[in-house]
């Protein structure tokens, strides 16, 4: 199964193919599928080419190298559904059905694709087989910690100098990954958090930056290894906004089969969406209390979702929110009580004004403003009409004279 980090496949598909042949030989399988997102056309075309080459040299097909062992590989293109990463949903998708998870047991190893025993593994796992077989288990185990052996590939991205794929030995600290390998944060900004493990993972702050990268340690601090996504955030990233972003994602990707995930994450999203709202005249005087109560109830809601969802998507959906709440409580409180977003991301809490001394009157912002909230004569200072402004930030992006102030 191919995801984000497995972009390395663009480079070394033969390692995967060999690993799959060995794995198939071990379990006596004659058919293998590589499930790859259709969004990665380059990976698909390289894989297709490599499979053809292997077939040409008799490494795939019937009676491989006179071993009487037959094995064929097929690429299945995903059709854009995150939940299809879940193993039972993946099987449903290959069978041509809606990719909805099923309760386990029966586990795929007992009854999987077409009702036959099936083994599902990550691309990284399968690619490791080749090196382990040829160099031995001791060699593989010589790298890593006591419980997490070997190496792990991460996709560094976000606010970090060196982006791209890195393979690190298990057990080095997050700090080393961010500041040594990743080269730190660009533009002298301050590190705020690193999000590990994709939408199921957590956001880890500076206070736990000395955490070792291994399965157990990451779990202890509220994140997980997951897909190997490693997104670095700096002081310009708002943690409330990140929580809202992930909940939105989960909401649109939830398959809708079970209630806790389908409805519960919707309620979580509603609670989070009420945090960054601006104060308005005539607002219900209990509004503040309600928003606060929402956050208090969030933890319980999250526990129910985690314990009762059918598949990993729902079970891990609360993680990014909970870790944010745990490590960035002060930021939530600031949004709730002071109605302020220190990173300037929650647009609703901002006021846009034009510095009349810097404005050249070019009129660019006026043309860009979608709600006609900016007025002014060409060549003269422009003004923002606050009640028309929807705080979209377009004027800020377009002004070439840095005349737009935000606070």
Partner 1 sequence: MANQTIAQYPKGDRSVLIPLLQDIQDAFGYLPEDVLTEAAAHIGMPLSSIYGVATFYNQFRLTPLGKNIIRVCRGTACHVKNSANILFGLESALNLKPGQTSRDKNFTLEVVSCIGACSIAPVICINDDYYGRITVKEIDKILKKYQPTPAKATSVKSPEVTK
Ligand X SMILES: Cc1cc2nc3c(=O)[nH]c(=O)nc-3n(C[C@H](O)[C@H](O)[C@H](O)COP(=O)(O)O)c2cc1C
Judged by CB under 6 A, does residue 361 bind ligand SF4? yes
Site string for ligand SF4, 69-98 (x = CB under 6 A): --------------x---------------
Q: Choose the one of ligand SF4, partner 1, ligand X, none that binds residue 249, judging by a C-beta under 5 to 8 angstroms depending on kind.
A: partner 1
**Judged by CB under 6 A, does residue 317 bind ligand X?**
no
Buried b (16+ CB within 10 A) or exposed e, 147-158: ebbbbbbbbbbb
Quick one: DSSP state of residue 107?
A: P
* Residue 54 near ligand X by CB under 6 A: no
Binding to partner 1 by residue 77, rule CB under 8 A?
yes
Point out which span in 145-153, 246-254, 304-312, 376-384 binds partner 1 (CB under 8 A): 246-254
- How many of the other CB atoms lie within 10 Å of CB of 109? 14
19 makes contact, choosing from ligand SF4, ligand X, partner 1, none, with CB < 5 to 8 Å by partner type, with none
The site map against ligand X for 276-315 (x = CB under 6 A) is: -----------------------------------xxx--
- How would you label 207-246 residue by residue, b for 16+ Cβ within 10 Å and e otherwise? ebbebbbbeebbeebbbbbbbbbbbbbbeebbbbbbbbeb
Whole-angstrom CA distances from 260 to 6, 251, 264 are 31, 11, 5
The secondary structure of 149-191 as a DSSP string is BSEEEEEEEES-SS-EEEEEETT-BHHIIIIIIS---GGGPPE
User: Considering the rule CB under 8 A, would residue 254 count as an interface residue with partner 1?
Assistant: no
Among 15, 152, 159, 335, binds partner 1 (CB under 8 A): 159
Cβ atoms of residues 253 and 303 within 8 Å: no
Provide the strand spans (E) within 221-349.
229-234
Looking only at the bridges linking them, the beta strands covering 229-234 and 404-406 are unpaired
CA 153 – CA 157 distance, rounded (Å): 13
Minimum CB distance to ligand SF4 smaller for 185 or for 365: 365
Q: How far is CA 215 from CA 81, 89, 126, 210, 364, in A?
A: 26, 24, 18, 15, 51
Any contact of residue 306 with ligand SF4 (CB under 6 A)? no
Residue 40 binding partner 1, by CB under 8 A: yes
* 373 near ligand X, rule: CB under 6 A: no
Using an 8 Å Cβ cutoff, are 309 and 101 in contact?
no
Question: Considering the rule CB under 6 A, would residue 1 count as an interface residue with ligand X?
Answer: yes
Least distance (Å) from ligand SF4 to the CB of residue 369?
3
Which of partner 1, ligand SF4, ligand X, none binds 120 (CB below 5-8 Å, type-dependent)? Answer: ligand X
Q: Does 15 bind partner 1 (CB under 8 A)?
A: no
CA-atom Rg of the chain in angstroms: 25
Q: Work out what residue 298 binds among ligand SF4, partner 1, ligand X, none; the CB cut-off runs from 5 to 8 Å by kind.
A: none
- Long-range Cβ pairs for the range 50-54 (8 Å, 24+): 50/13, 50/14, 50/17, 51/17, 51/75, 54/14, 54/17
Q: Which of 121, 249, 363, 383 binds ligand SF4 (CB under 6 A)?
A: 363
Q: Does 3 bind ligand X (CB under 6 A)?
A: yes
Minimum CB–partner distance for residue 403 and ligand SF4 (Å): 4
Query: Quick one: which segment of 125-133, 192-200, 290-298, 325-333 binds partner 1 (CB under 8 A)?
Result: 192-200
Name the site residues for ligand X (rule: CB under 6 A). Answer: 1, 3, 82-83, 85-87, 120-122, 125, 227, 311-313
């Amino acid at each position: 199964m191919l995801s984000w980090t497995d972009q390395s496949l663009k480079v070394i598909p033969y390692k995967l193919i060999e690993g799959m042949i060995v794995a198939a030989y071990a379990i006596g399988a004659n058919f293998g599928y590589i499930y790859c997102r259709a969004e990665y056309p380059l990976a698909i075309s390289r894989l297709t080419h490599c499979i053809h080459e292997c077939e040409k040299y008799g490494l795939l097909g019937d009676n491989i190298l006179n071993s009487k062992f037959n094995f064929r590989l097929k690429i299945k293109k995903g059709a854009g559904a995150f939940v299809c990463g879940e193993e039972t949903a993946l099987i449903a998708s290959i069978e041509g059905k809606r990719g909805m998870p099923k309760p386990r047991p029966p586990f795929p190893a007992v009854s999987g694709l077409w009702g036959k025993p099936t083994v599902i593994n990550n691309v990284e796992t399968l690619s490791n087989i080749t090196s382990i077989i040829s160099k031995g288990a001791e060699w593989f185990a010589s790298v890593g910690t006591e419980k997490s052996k070997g190496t792990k590939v991460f996709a560094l991205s976000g606010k970090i100098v060196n982006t791209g794929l890195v393979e690190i030995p298990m057990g080095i600290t997050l700090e080393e990954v961010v500041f040594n390998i990743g080269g730190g944060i660009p533009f002298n900004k301050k590190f705020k958090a690193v999000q590990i493990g994709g939408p199921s993972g957590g956001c880890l702050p500076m206070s736990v930056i000395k955490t070792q990268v291994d399965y157990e340690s990451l779990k202890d601090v509220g994140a997980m290894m997951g897909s190997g996504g490693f997104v670095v955030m700096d002081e310009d990233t708002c943690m409330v906004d990140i929580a809202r972003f992930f909940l939105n994602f989960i909401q649109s990707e939830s398959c809708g089969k079970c209630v806790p995930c389908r409805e519960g994450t919707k309620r979580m999203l509603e609670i989070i969406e009420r945090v960054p709202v601006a104060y308005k005249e005539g607002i219900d005087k209990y509004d503040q209390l309600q928003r606060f109560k929402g956050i208090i109830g969030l933890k319980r809601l999250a526990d129910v979702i985690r314990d009762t969802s059918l598949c990993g998507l729902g079970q891990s959906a609360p993680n990014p929110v909970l870790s944010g709440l745990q490590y960035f409580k002060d930021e939530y409180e600031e949004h709730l009580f002071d109605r302020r977003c220190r990173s300037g991301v929650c647009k609703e809490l901002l006021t846009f004004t034009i510095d009349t001394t810097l404005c050249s009157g070019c009129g660019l912002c006026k043309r860009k403003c979608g709600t006609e909230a900016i007025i002014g004569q060409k060549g003269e200072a422009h003004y923002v009409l606050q009640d028309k402004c929807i705080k979209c930030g377009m004027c800020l992006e377009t002004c070439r004279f840095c005349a737009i102030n935000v606070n």
